[in-house]
Structures are given as C-alpha cells and as structure tokens.
Amino acid sequence: MGLSRLRGARVFLIEPTYGIFLHKSLYFRPMEEALMLYLNKHRLAKGVVLIVWLYFVCSYLIGSIMFGYIVTKAFYQQDLRKLGSGNVGARNAGRLHGKKVFVMTFLGDALKGTVVVAAARWVHFSDSFQLIGLMLALIGHLKPITLKFKGGKGISTFIGGMITFQPLLSLVIMAVFIILYPLTKSFTLAGLGAFLFIPVFLLIRQYDWLTCILAAGILILILLAHSENIKEKIRHN
C-alpha cells in the first residue's frame, strides 16, 4: 500500500455494540458496504421484533380495560364485581342498570377487539398476527391485570375483533343465529353455535391453515369461558 493511500485512510466506528473498526479506504470500501448492509438489516430485524412484542403486550393491556366496571363506577359508584353474577361484562351490567348501560359496555368491549385488529392491519401484520393480537386482547378481557385477573366472558371483544377482521362474518353469524335460535330457544346456545361456523367460513374463504387454527383457538377460549352457562342451558333444555 502506498504512503499516499495510508495518509488518506481514517478509522471510524460503525457499530459500538460490535466494536468493529474499519479503515475507510479504497481497499476496504466493498467490505464496509457489505457490513453496513448487514448491520442495517440487523437493526431492522430488531426493530420489527420490538414492534411485534409491543403490539402483543398492548393487545393484552387493551383487553384488560373493563368497560362494565368503568361505566358502573362512573355513573353509579358501584363495583360490578360485587353485584348480580359478579361478572364485569355487558350482560351483568345490563341486567343491573338497563339497556343503556348494556349498550355502552358492549360497544366499549367490542371496540377493544376492533382496535387491536385494526392496529395490526394498519402496520401490515399478517392475518395470523391479527388473530394472535385478538386472542391476547380476549385473554386480557377474561383475565384482566387491572381487576386481579377476574374479568368478563369475552363475547363483545370477540365479535368486535372478528367482524373487523372479516366484515362478512357479521352476516354469517346473524344467519346461523336466526336458524339456531328457534331450535335452541337460547340466545347463548344459538350465539355460540353461530360462532362455530367462523373457522369453517375462513377456510372456505381460503385463509391459510394457521389463521383458521387461531380462529378455532379463540373460539375455544370463548367456549371455555361459557362452559358453565352451556351446561346449565343444556340441563334446562
């Protein structure tokens, strides 16, 4: 190497965490460019992972916002957990305080599912990631950290999220509900029965297998949350 080239070389730090030093000269430029490309991709990968984890955590925390508890506290200074069935969902709130409170609670809880799915779509997450977010929001609703892990049953959040995910599901759910209700004479059984068609509908619409499995997993959470209600309705019928 000539003296003129050595004088023109200078040392600089590309990535402190790696402790990499390069001579910025004509001899090292191709290697420098390749390494910079690698490091930029590495930073991008770390950024994406951070965004995904942040989305997952926020999905659970959004699910943990319990509108039934908030509404009854704000308007009636009551703890919904200590009234009626003790559930903080829309049905218990409506039984105790009427249709307006039911609608406010239902829409608030449904909005949680809508926000989580819409946010994932806004950042161009895949269908499966959208449903993972909805599942975490649902878990947050069922086991909210804000109320010592004693929450609702998740119907409102589930409906809001799934209809945002695939708007045509609203028609499917209503159609199946209309068919099942005269047979079951139960809003609970007809509604849950209608939900069973969601994974089938997604499969027919050619969603990938993982998305359909996640939809089925979310549905299982809903059924488990309503297991006692289902047993009671079956006994009465």
CB 139 within 8 A of CB 63: yes
For the cut 60, the answer to whether the pLDDT of residue 15 exceeds it is no
Instruction: Return the top range by mean pLDDT from 8-12, 86-90, 163-167, 169-173.
Output: 163-167
Distance CA 108, CA 71 (A): 10
The one-character DSSP state at 82 is G
| Token pair recorded at residue 48 | 């994406």
The predicted pLDDT at position 30 comes to: 60
Lowest-pLDDT range, 31-35, 51-55, 169-173, 221-225? 31-35
For the cut 90, the answer to whether the pLDDT of residue 207 exceeds it is yes
For the cut 80, the answer to whether the pLDDT of residue 222 exceeds it is yes
The predicted pLDDT at position 29 comes to: 57
The predicted pLDDT at position 137 comes to: 97
Nearest C-alpha neighbor of 66 from the set 28, 37, 93: 93
For the cut 90, the answer to whether the pLDDT of residue 106 exceeds it is yes
Q: What is the pTM of this model?
A: 0.79
The predicted pLDDT at position 101 comes to: 93
- Map out the domains of the chain as residue ranges: 168-237
The predicted pLDDT at position 41 comes to: 62
Mean pLDDT across the chain: 83
The predicted pLDDT at position 1 comes to: 42
Helix (H) or strand (E) holding 22: strand 21-23
Kindly state the average pLDDT of the residues 58-69.
96
Work out the pLDDT band at 10, boundaries 50, 70, 90: very low
Distance CA 234, CA 186 (A): 10
Instruction: Give 132-165 pLDDT, tens digit per residue.
Output: 999 999 999 999 999 989 888 999 999 999 999 9
Distance CA 192, CA 218 (A): 12
The predicted pLDDT at position 21 comes to: 39
